[in-house]
Amino acid sequence: MGGETLFGRIWNLHRIKPLGGGVDLLFVDRHLVHDLEAGPRLAALAARGLPVLRPDLTFATPDHAVVTTPGRATAATAAAADGTTSAGSLLADMRRRTAAAGIKLFDLGEPGQGIVHVIGPELGLSLPGLLIVCGDSHTCTHGGLGALAFGIGSSEVEHVLATQSLRQSRPATLRLRIDGRRAPGVGAKDLMLYAIGRFGTAAARGHAIEYAGAAVVALDVEARLTLCNLSIEMGAKIGMIAPDSTVFEYIAGRHYAPKGAQWEPAVAAWSALASDADAVFDRELCVDAAAVAPQITWGTSPQDVVGIDAVVPDPDAVGDPALRRSRRAALDYMGLSPGQRLEGTPIDWVFIGSCTNGRLSDLREAAAVVRGRRVAARVNAWVVPGSENVRRAARAEGLDKIFLEAGFQWREPGCSLCLGANGELIPPGQRSVSTTNRNFVGRQGPGARTHIASPATAAAAAIAGAIADVRKLPPAQVR
């Protein structure tokens, strides 16, 4: 019999009891709640006359539906106070109900506010070995720290609020090895888009992914979060990486992280989580990092992706008729033709942000491209920091100035153009290069055409006014 996996160890640690039929009752260590769920779910719980079992393990923040207009705190507060907008009443409801339940809320303008998957790691709420859930599919992000983290539906959010537990059937395991060295200009986002393009958006359905290999170990913590964030786009609810000293150094001193006498035993326990050398996975996949170029999507699924220097693939070249039809429909929606070079395709919008690429290292990467240059005249370019703390740290480094001087908008933290739930939308037919994770039909607004890419590639597109290869940008004249 083979050894235990990272996933299996953490799952077993959280098993309260088996419920039969392959379903386990699992204990939840951290429950993150955002503005689309907090008010409605707490209301539903109250209607059943049930209390929140562990408000001390539940943390809330508004991110999905808040506007990110500079100086918004006052405007949003006003809207919330009179409940005139749906988003405003969601926020007002969230404030009232989290306060009544004794749940910590990181509110607008406060350190700690931000996209749930950015604030969890940043505040030390997300730790190795924890079971973390949130009513959002990108909860897999937290697996970058070695946590077992996954997204849940609304009923399950209610279930966790009431019982601090979940009924779950155990997924199979899949190890994705990424070996080799990344070329310059290639980041975690590119590695993962490449893997999704190669294996497909359903490849890891029903599996928990463990990322391993030299190219994974070489990633810093924020890049690991980006990698795990995209697990759901390969079909997996869970993606994780064995915690190591890189992670422990990142966690040390964070606000909610273990301190004092608790630190050493915690690190000892985290160090013992990694998969055994003889652990057996249900499936194994491999990618060579050295083969990966900066990636860009051309269609309406994250698997519709190619290297930045490639041409739009021909739907007629695929054998499967259903796939051929869906690729034709995608090209139609995107306003692209087979064989067309993506590089040089004019764009209207650039969005840098989201739980995939809205962290400090992402803003640094984009700023390094933007510094000393100007956004092309026709392009609306936005930077939306992933959290209030990211915003403040970036300002302290002067990144806001670099973006503003180049002609970017520098906005308040939230999900913003990633899903357009806050009224911030890309107009129909307009084309955006976005550091987000989904290019679905209508995701950034009805008729919006989204190309997903890394922060460096998005920044290069803003400067060029067209899809561009960041590796070919001439050196900037530093002013």
Partner 1 sequence: MAQPFRPLTAILAPLPRANVDTEVIIPIGRLISHRRGTLGPFCFEPWRYLPDGSPDPQFALNEPRYAGARILLGGANFGCGSSREAAVWALWDLGIRCVIAESFGDIFRANCFQNGLLPVTLDAATLAWLTTWAGARRPPLLGVDLQHSRLLAAGRSIPFVIDPERRTALLEGLDDIGLTLKSLADIRTFIRRDLATRPWAQSAGGG
Binding positions for partner 1, 238-277, rule CB under 8 A: 256-263, 265-266, 269
229 lines the binding site for partner 1 (CB under 8 A):
no
- Residue 20 interacts with, from ligand SF4, partner 1, none (CB under 5-8 Å by kind): partner 1
Site mask, ligand SF4, residues 116-145, x = CB under 6 A?
-x------------------x-x-------
Pairing of strands 238-240, 283-288: unpaired
Contact positions with ligand SF4 (CB under 6 A) in 21-80: 63-64
When asked if residue 17 is in the footprint of partner 1 (CB under 8 A), the reply is yes
Interface with ligand SF4 by CB under 6 A: which range of 24-32, 272-280, 299-307, 412-420?
Answer: 412-420
Give the nearest distance from C-beta 409 to ligand SF4 in angstroms: 17
By CB under 6 A, the count of residues binding ligand SF4 is 13
Q: Does 231 bind partner 1 (CB under 8 A)?
A: no
Which one of residues 42, 419, 458, 463 is an interface residue with partner 1 (CB under 8 A)? 419
Which one of partner 1, ligand SF4, none is in contact with 355 (Cβ closer than 5 to 8 A by kind)?
ligand SF4
Q: What is the 3 state secondary structure string of the chain? A: CCECCHHHHHHHHCEEEEEECCEEEEECCEEEEECCCHHHHHHHHHHCCCCCCCHHHEEEECCCCCCCCCCHHHHHHHHHHHCCCHHHHHHHHHHHHHHHHCCEECCCCCCCCECHHHHHHHHCCCCCCCEEEECCHHHHHHHHHCCEEEECCHHHHHHHHHHCEEEEECCEEEEEEEECCCCCCCCHHHHHHHHHHHHCCCCCCCEEEEEECHHHHCCCHHHHHHHHHHHHHHCCCEEECCCCHHHHHHHCCCCCCCCHHHHHHHHHHHHCCCCCCCECCCEEEEEEHHHCCCEEECCCCCCCEEECCCECCCHHHCCCHHHHHHHHHHHHHHCCCCCCECCCCECCEEEECHHHHCCHHHHHHHHHHHCCCCCCCCCEEEECCCEHHHHHHHHHCCHHHHHHHHCCEECCCCCHHHCCCCCCCCCCCCEEEECCCCCCCCCCCCCCEEEECCHHHHHHHHHHCECCCHHHCCCCCCC
- Judged by CB under 8 A, which of 420, 471, 473, 476 binds partner 1? 420
Nearer to partner 1, 5 or 303 (CB): 303
Considering the complex, state which of residue 387 and residue 437 has its C-beta at the smaller distance from partner 1: 437
86 touches, from ligand SF4, partner 1, none (C-beta below 5 to 8 Å by class): partner 1
Binding-residue pattern over the window 137 to 176 for partner 1, x denoting contact by CB under 8 A: x-------------xxxxxx-xx--xxxx-x-x-x-----
Does 436 contact partner 1 by CB under 8 A?
A: no
Among residue numbers 346 through 385, which ones bind ligand SF4 (CB under 6 A)?
354-355
Measured from the CB atom, the residue of 228 and 242 that comes closer to ligand SF4 is: 228
- Judged by beta carbon distances under 5 to 8 A according to partner kind, the member of partner 1, ligand SF4, none in contact with residue 155 is partner 1
Closest CB 134 distance from ligand SF4, rounded Å: 9
Query: Is residue 438 within 8 Å of residue 302, measured between CB atoms?
Result: yes
199 binds partner 1 (CB under 8 A): no
Q: Is residue 39 involved in binding partner 1 (CB under 8 A)?
A: no
* Smallest distance, partner 1 to C-beta of residue 376, A: 29
* Minimal distance, residue 96 CB to partner 1, in Å: 18
CA 35 to chain centre: 17
- Residue number with CB closer to partner 1 (77 or 326): 326
Should residue 458 be labelled a site residue for ligand SF4 when binding is judged by CB under 6 A? no
Exposed, middle or buried, 69 (CB in 10 Å: 0-12/13-18/19+)? middle
Judged by CB under 8 A, the residue of 18, 56, 374, 395 near partner 1 is 56
Binding site for ligand SF4 (CB under 6 A): 63-64, 115, 117, 136, 138, 354-355, 415, 418-419, 436-437
